[in-house]
Amino acid sequence: MQIITTKSELQAAVKACKIANKTIGLVPTMGALHAGHASLVRRAVNENNVCFVSVFVNPTQFNNKEDLAKYPRNIQRDAELLESIGADFIFAPTPEEMYSEEEMNSTFAFDFAGLDQVMEGKMRPGHFNGVVQVVSRLFYLVQPDKAYFGEKDFQQLAIIHHMVERSSMAGTFGNLQIIDCPIVREESGLALSSRNERLSKQEKETALAISKTLFASLEWAKEAGATVAHVQQRVIDTINAVEGLEVEYYDIVDQSTLLPTDSFNHAIGCVTVYCGPVRLIDNIKYN
Ligand code: PAF
């Protein structure tokens, strides 16, 4: 496995793969890797000749400086994990290598067709502009055949699909396929997240109520006369009743449009909860 820190080295490595007719899998990450990332990388290793993993805490997708500063970083540990799984290249650039000063300080413009107006996009203005900025740059540099993303960030995934569909019309990303990978949970049900590292032992216990409530809501949705609005409110009330948890939003939306829906058909519930100072997200599909 090789660790690359510059765009020119990366492009040279990609060129060598293309010349040798090797298929490329890409797993974009912000590091602080856990078993969820490992499952993405394992898939990328199995389904492609060569696997690239980017490890880059992308400053342009953080709208909160403190969150950016506190985001866990441990490239040494990440590299050991990636080597053990069989990744071939890690791309770990500095922000200055990735962006010009102008790019770093302006908002990347993109037509989201409204997908950024709800949930995370509403709460974190500009967040998805930064995500699309970095992901499109990684696609451009790595030219992958397949790129792997976790369903925990469901809205991010919907936006990346939209981005690829739009730009493939212009042939920008060739035949790139986006691979949706299911949420990986601890045995307790807690969705794996790099942010879990910031939870105390007690907070981690408290956070279990989030996934427990989401799973319970699958049953609530089956109760006679259950409506989306009632289930939505019941999830919010149940989580808020737990000391130490505060729901920012729980929206049940259509899985494709991300717009509010009054049917459980093709619906997904997406939640954001503050557990002490740590902002956690999770989701559940109703069918
Ligand atoms: O999901 C993430 O970790 C990030 O948003 C991504 C896709 C690596 C872009 O920085």
User: Cα–Cα distance between 73 and 42 in angstroms, integer?
Assistant: 21
* 193 contacts: CB under 8 Å, gap ≥ 6: 34, 36, 152, 280, 281
- For residue 275, is pLDDT > 70? yes
pTM: 0.95
Residue nearest to atom 5 of ligand 1 (CA): 131
- Position 166 scores a pLDDT of 86
pLDDT, mean of residues 254-268: 96
Closest CA to 46 of 139, 148, 150: 148
Mean of all residue pLDDT scores within the chain: 96
* pLDDT band, very low/low/confident/very high, at 167 (cuts 50, 70, 90): confident
Residue nearest to atom 6 of ligand 1 (CA): 29
The residues facing 185 across adjacent strands are: 191
DSSP string, 178-236: EEEEPPPB-TTSPBP-GGGGGS-HHHHHHHHHHHHHHHHHHHHTTSTT--HHHHHHHHH
Closest CA to 257 of 117, 54, 124: 117
The atom of ligand 1 lying closest to the CA of 194 is 3
* pLDDT band, very low/low/confident/very high, at 174 (cuts 50, 70, 90): confident
Q: Where in the chain is the domain with CATH 3.30.1300.10?
A: 194-285
Q: Where in the chain is the domain with CATH 3.40.50.620?
A: 2-181
- Indicate whether residue 134 lines ligand 1 (CB < 6 A): yes
Right CATH number for 2-181 from 3.50.50.60, 3.40.50.620, 3.60.15.10, 2.60.40.10? 3.40.50.620
Residue nearest to atom 1 of ligand 1 (CA): 29
Q: Which residues are catalytic?
A: 37
CATH top class, domain 194-285: alpha beta
Summarised one tens digit per residue, pLDDT across range 15-65 is 999 999 999 999 999 999 999 999 999 999 999 999 999 999 999 999 889
- For residue 169, is pLDDT > 70? no
